[in-house]
């Protein structure tokens, strides 16, 4: 299948492609070995994320510690 890119860098995906992936509306876009890879993305409700964090026992202090760790000076 072919898809054409417009002068505004817009690409219309063939209907068969969107039907095959459920037409999510959003895609993660990556470049791998010179290829453009589109991965369908479903946004997660913030309440669902909060429930999952609570199930895992992750607190706001844990998140703050993780951010601090990620931002630490590595020099």
pLDDT digits (tens, 9 = 90+) for 18-62: 888 887 778 899 999 999 999 988 887 888 888 999 999 999 999
Split into its structural domains, the chain has a count of 2
Q: Are residues 37 and 49 in the same domain?
A: no
Q: Are residues 53 and 73 in the same domain?
A: yes
Asked if the structure places residue 7 within a domain, the reply is no
d(CA 5, CA 36): 13
Which has more confidence, 74 or 21?
21
d(CA 22, CA 20): 6
Q: How confident is the model at residue 4 (pLDDT cuts 50, 70, 90)?
A: very high
Q: Judge whether 29 and 46 are in contact, CB under 8 Å.
A: no
Q: Are residues 49 and 75 in the same domain?
A: yes
Q: Are residues 63 and 50 in the same domain?
A: yes
CA 69 from chain centre, in angstroms, equals 23
Asked if the structure places residue 6 within a domain, the reply is no
Parent domain of 30: 12-43
d(CA 50, CA 44): 10
């Amino acid at each position: 299948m072919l898809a054409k890119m417009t002068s505004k860098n817009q690409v219309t995906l063939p209907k068969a492609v969107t039907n095959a992936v459920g037409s999510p509306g959003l895609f993660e876009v990556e470049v791998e070995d010179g290829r453009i890879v589109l991965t369908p993305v479903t946004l997660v409700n913030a309440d669902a994320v909060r429930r999952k964090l609570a199930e895992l026992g992750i607190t706001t202090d844990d998140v703050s510690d993780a951010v601090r760790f990620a931002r630490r000076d590595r020099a």
